[in-house]
Structure 1
């Protein structure tokens, strides 16, 4: 059986500080968890200790391609749009969360991306 995990994909072109990126990743994880909490994948992920991996993309276009690939693969995907109170303009797509889902389902969508 393939491990269930949550993947967060972060844009690196926005000049966000480490704390801002951490906050955006936390937003993504919370949104994904809340939206999937009634699913078998969530139950597996929860029992496994909520494994997460944070990957990076260079820009908004690449984030959009990853989101589209996740949707095409029928994976749960949530895009975080910033409120614009600190480092980026309101509405900016900063990252996305994909899953929780099995590693073998995520691999075709995110396997080519590097760790943040």
Structure 2
């Protein structure tokens, strides 16, 4: 459990002196990797400020666009969506702003939607549009050991604020 991880007790005490609730102080320290009380306090107050501005209304979602041209079996599609989810989540750990997005997505229920894409060109077009909107993406290319040719683009994963993601995938049908 995340709250069981060690937090710097000196920093925790400094945050408590700022009237930050203990659990929130611990979460802020963990989120900022125990760098300093100041860093954690900035994180906490920025988060509070954003929530006060109605930021809690922003919903995040992760979508998976499956290449329907490939005629993959149900198990193959499930495995490829799994690859996309793990790959995208790993990519989200590379940037602070993306880590924050992953945290918000996770704490808002980790919404996931699987959609139908036409073919590889369609997935690449959607990826380019998502990237132009600064949405993190992961395109899965299959190794070709089972049902599809090596290098086939099987699934595109996109994450972001729901309205932004809908600008990219809102017209696609559910799988």
Tell me the distance in 2 between the aligned counterparts of 1:61 and 1:92.
Answer: 11
The match for 1:91 among 148, 151, 155 is 151
Q: Normalized against structure 2, the TM-score is what?
A: 0.63
For structure 1, the 5+ residue unaligned runs are none
Match in the other structure for 1:105 = 164
Q: What does 1:14-29 correspond to in 2, within 5 Å?
A: 14-29=70-85
Structure showing greater radius of gyration is 2
For structure 2, the 5+ residue unaligned runs are 1-56
Secondary structure, counterpart of 1:71 in structure 2: helix
Tell me the distance in 2 between the aligned counterparts of 1:83 and 1:95.
Answer: 13
Larger proportion of helix:
2
Secondary structure, counterpart of 1:78 in structure 2: strand
Match in the other structure for 2:67 = 11
CA RMSD after TM alignment: 1.0
Match in the other structure for 2:174 = 115
TM-superposed deviation, 1:64 = 1.3
Larger proportion of strand:
1
Q: Which has the higher contact order (CA 8 A, sep 6+)?
A: 1
Count of residue correspondences: 115
The match for 2:131 among 62, 71, 78 is 71
**Runs ≥4 residues deviating over 3 A:** none
2:124 aligned with 1:61, yes or no? no
Question: Which range moves more in the overlay, 88-97 or 30-39?
Answer: 30-39
Match in the other structure for 2:43 = none
Tell me the distance in 2 between the aligned counterparts of 1:27 and 1:2.
Answer: 26
Q: Normalized against structure 1, the TM-score is what?
A: 0.94
Match in the other structure for 1:30 = 86
